Amino acid sequence: MLKKDRAEYVQDKLETLYPEPAIPLTHKDSYTLLVSVLLSAQCTDERVNKVTPKLFEMADTPQGMVQLPTKRIENVIRSCGLAPRKAEAISALSKILLRRHGGKVPANMESLEALPGVGHKTASVVMSQAFNIPAFPVDTHIHRLAQRWGLTSGKNVRQTEKDLKALYPPESWNKLHLQIIYYGREFCSARGCDGTKCEICRACFPSRREPFLHRKA
């Protein structure tokens, strides 16, 4: 298959499997999503969804969050890992939202990336899932699968994002990044598939016999 053929096959297959992919992190608005995505760094969505109900019961707005001592936030989110750093970021970004953005989460990449603890991937998730603005968040899992399927050179996550955006129209980005995540978890995980086992890997590269060695993010 040529790259464009692989890209089309992947999208068609994922659309069949996951026609309406749900947002994995439980949230009620852009602020609770932002906090949840920040907490998901080096942590599973499942764990975050177990932690955030207690946190959001204490505070689910910037106004409420700034009233909490950072240590109290840290204690609640401890099981998510990197708790001191994440608690500081949640407190600091809440103050900035109040001071600079009227307590609202800004709907643009530049302002989001300027917030403490918010990198490009986190900002892309918020743009996509909170505001439905086309973005293609690329985490280590999407980075790995895009390489396995021959959709990117895999130099780094930024290059993978650029390559995927070039292959697919903007109106498909928000849905497709979720579909890839779900497929990776179910069929093409880091340990469950080595680039030769799942249906998409076999279809894209039927003659591949050795495990695919991908570049790390």
Location of structure tokens 């970004």? 93
What does the alpha-carbon distance between residue 138 and residue 124 come to, in Å, rounded to a whole number?
A: 9
Annotation marks residue 29 as catalytic: no
Question: CA–CA separation, 214 vs 208, rounded Å?
Answer: 14
Catalytic residue among 60, 86, 139, 163: 139
Phi/psi region, residue 169 (left: phi>0; alpha: psi -120 to 50; beta: rest), is beta
Contact 154, 147 (CB under 8 A): yes
Whether 84 and 116 have beta carbons less than 8 Å apart is answered as: no
Which residues, in sequence order, are CB contacts of 10 under 8 Å at separation 6+? 149, 151, 200, 204
163 is catalytic: no
Catalytic residue among 60, 121, 163, 175: 121
Task: Fill in the amino acid letter for 197.
Answer: K
CB 141 within 8 A of CB 177: no
Going by C-alpha positions, the residue among 92, 63, 91 that lies closest to residue 76 is: 91
**42's torsion region: left (phi>0), alpha (psi -120 to 50) or beta?**
left
Active-site residues: which are they?
121, 139
